[in-house]
Amino acid sequence: MVVKKGVKIAARSAAGMPGPRSVTAISAAPSARPQRTTTSPLGGEASIALRRTHYHTRILADAVAIFGLPVHARPPALAARVIVKLLVGTPERWNRPLAGCAEMAGCVIFRALRDRGVELFADEPEVAARIRLLYDEILGDEIGHVGYLAAVLGPAGRAVMRGLYRALGHRLAGQLPELVALCGRAELRRRFGAAFRLGEMAAELPGRAYAAATI
Ligand SMILES: [Fe+2]
């Protein structure tokens, strides 16, 4: 998601997984300079999460700038900030269901972005194929993260994860203006309203996605 304004990054951090790709990072300006985080009240973990956020945000912003598109920095939405603070400020075994919820939302969001990208570039098959490939790689990661968290959580933890996803997933997506502009609120509602079937998502990406457990 998650993504990211910090959500996806923090989710990966909390789950002990590397290599965040961000939904939300697209909101920062290409000219934004890396910020010092030595005064972060959340300590080392938060500091690392912030540095990662800025690093990935700058990469994406610079990539977008190649096409002459302005990218303006703004703080993440309230829900994203709250989730990030919870993820970095509570013990991992407590926040796994929340991290799992963010990963589930990430699956839905990246899928929506992929499908919309392919649709928008339908008249340029090579571009559409590249968009599909890159998003499928991200999606494969996200599916693996959901499966990992589902595997380490017990039945009760998985139930909390599902409940959080139902309560927060569409709200998180609705706070990403770029996503709403691309897909529309009705389409996002439809996607988040549908049953979350991890096994089917993994089956769509043979050789690219593996889920250790289903949710
Ligand atoms: Fe993830």
Q: Sorting pLDDT into bands at 50, 70 and 90, what band is 6?
A: very low
Distance 162 CA to ligand 1 centre (A): 16
Q: Alpha helices, DSSP H only, in the chain?
A: 7-14, 44-65, 78-89, 92-120, 125-152, 155-174, 177-183, 185-193, 198-204
Collect residues with CB below 5 Å from ion ligand 1. Answer: 103, 142, 145
Q: Is 117 exposed, middle or buried (0-12, 13-18, 19+ CB in 10 A)?
A: middle
Distance 106 CA to ligand 1 centre (A): 7
Q: What is the 141 CA–ligand 1 centroid distance (Å)?
A: 6
The pLDDT tens digits of the residues spanning 30-51 come to 444 444 444 444 556 667 777 7
For 55-70, what is each residue's pLDDT tens digit? 878 888 888 889 898 7
Ligand 1 center to 163 CA (angstroms): 18
| Cα–Cα dist 161/153, whole Å | 9
pLDDT of residue 119: 97
Mean pLDDT of the chain: 80
Residue 79's pLDDT is what? 81
- What is the 8-class DSSP label of residue 206? T
CB neighbours of residue 186 within 10 Å: 8
Are 32 and 73 in contact by the 8 Å Cβ rule? The answer is: yes
Which residue, among 177, 174, 183, 211, has the nearest Cα to 196 in the 3D structure? 211
Q: Look at 174 and 3; give whichever has higher pLDDT.
A: 174
pLDDT score, position 93: 82
Q: Answer for the pair 104, 169: CB distance below 8 angstroms, yes or no.
A: yes
Predicted confidence at residue 44, as pLDDT, reads 67
Residues 102-121, mean pLDDT to the nearest whole number: 96
What is the 23 CA–ligand 1 centroid distance (Å)?
11
Per-residue pLDDT band for 188 (boundaries 50, 70, 90) equals very high
Is a pLDDT exceeding 70 seen at residue 26? no
